[in-house]
Amino acid sequence: MNQLKKNAQAVLRGNWQNGFTIPCQGLYPFQWNWDSGFIALGWAHIDPEHAKQEIRSLLKGQWSNGFLPHIVFHNPSDSYYPGPEVHGAELSPYSPEIPTSGITQPPVLGFILEYIYMRLDTDPTFLDFVASVYDAVYANHEYFYTQRDPQQEGLVYICHNWEAGTDNTPVWDFIWDTFTVPQYDLPRKDTSLIDASHRPTNAEYCYYIHLIELFKTWNYEDARIAAESPFLVQDPLFNSMLIASNNSLIRLGKLLGRSAQVSQLQAWNTKAKQRFNEKLYDSELGGYVYYDLRGERKLSHLSSSSFTPLFAEIPSAAQAAAMIAHLDGGRFSGAQHERLLCASFDPTSSLFNSQKYWRGPIWINLNWLIYEGLLNYGAKDTAAQIRTDSIALIEKYGFYEYFECDRIKNETLDTGYGGNNFSWSAALILDLLKSQ
Ligand code: DGY
């Protein structure tokens, strides 16, 4: 275990860039929003000052309307497409001096601040740091509830698959089916850096780029996006992250005496949790699903995102039990536990692919969220299983981006999938090793 910890620390140190941490050399050479949150938690186990710097650096990319972009381009690099010139965020009157993207990612910062505070044994100097960034994180939540909830129902939308974090889940296939896009020239770099068969196709990338081109024609104006974007989805993972971050900002805000902000966060959360359960729970499937707000329909497929409401303490005990059953002898584990936890997409679906980016492989950040969520509901054995599986995969293969879930295939495999020396895999293993 000590060696594993040392190796994890070496990955984070190797990816540190003087103030922030890149997710992975070559493949992701800038600062990514939700990566940075998980990475900051990893840094808290090594050097809390780095954790603070990581968060400060991310916030340098915040827009004046509270929006927090998914990439902050602190540094030049030619190993990634699409770079700042494709995103064209400067078209928005709210964008900052520093180049950023114009789309966001799951809002993890609120709960990351609380986790770090807990992992540092409620260190008062870290609470001072929380006080210094609290308004910025709160402003990001305010942005979501005022700009991304057109029906004022407590659930916010995402307008791009990259905003989901689960970039290439098969669920998006149903959205791509609703519109056509031109063939773009795609000077992709990712497919020459790693096994191209593990990455999204060019046809899928044309959709990703097309959405950005549309947003640029609207100068990233939220009202235009809400009115016209063909991709407008209420995502269970994204909304769970926002609700969990609300929960944390409420508890931290009480410690900091922020009563007005705490009341507002409580009001957002009461409404959000109720609507989340009414709208996103699929009782036939026994889990939470995506809602296509443009097409006004549920997209009834289970994925690892379906279990993340456990992390935000949204499900009732009965709903939680239905979800735990999927992981414990059900379709995600297999009746004989022939699968490691937790596949990123329903392994019994015809759309499942155990090797392809978010279409089936195991991701350590989702495992961490589900592990913590299971503990919230007292499901200690299932939580222990997900922790054991995560550590075993990293011990066998190293700090890859994603992993095979099939036990038999793992017997003969000698590699993980995607990028190697991937920062959040290292950061969250440090956290899992700590929390027994
Ligand atoms: C990528 O390029 O695959 C990133 O995840 C998008 O942010």
Residue among 336, 354, 338 nearest 346 (CA): 354
Mean pLDDT of the chain: 98
Q: Which of 47, 90, 123, 167 is catalytic?
A: 167
Residue 436: the pLDDT is: 59
CA of 267 to the centre of ligand 1 (A): 33
Q: Is the CB of 47 under 6 A from ligand 1?
A: no
pLDDT in tens, 205-226: 999 999 999 999 999 999 999 9
Q: Which of 163, 282, 346, 401 is catalytic?
A: 401
| CA 142 and chain centroid, separation | 19
Closest ligand 1 atom to residue 81 Cα is 2
Residue 435: the pLDDT is: 73
Task: Give, for ligand 1, the residue of 24, 27, 28 to mutate: max count of ligand atoms closer than 8 Å to Cβ.
Answer: 28
Closest ligand 1 atom to residue 32 Cα is 7
The DSSP element (H or E) to which 281 belongs, if any, is: strand 281-282
Q: Is the CB of 162 under 6 A from ligand 1?
A: yes
pTM comes to: 0.98
User: Three-state SS for 417?
Assistant: strand
CA of 28 to the centre of ligand 1 (A): 7
Cβ-contact 38, 105 below 8 angstroms: no
pLDDT in tens, 99-147: 999 999 999 999 999 999 999 999 999 999 999 999 999 999 999 999 9
Closest ligand 1 atom to residue 357 Cα is 3
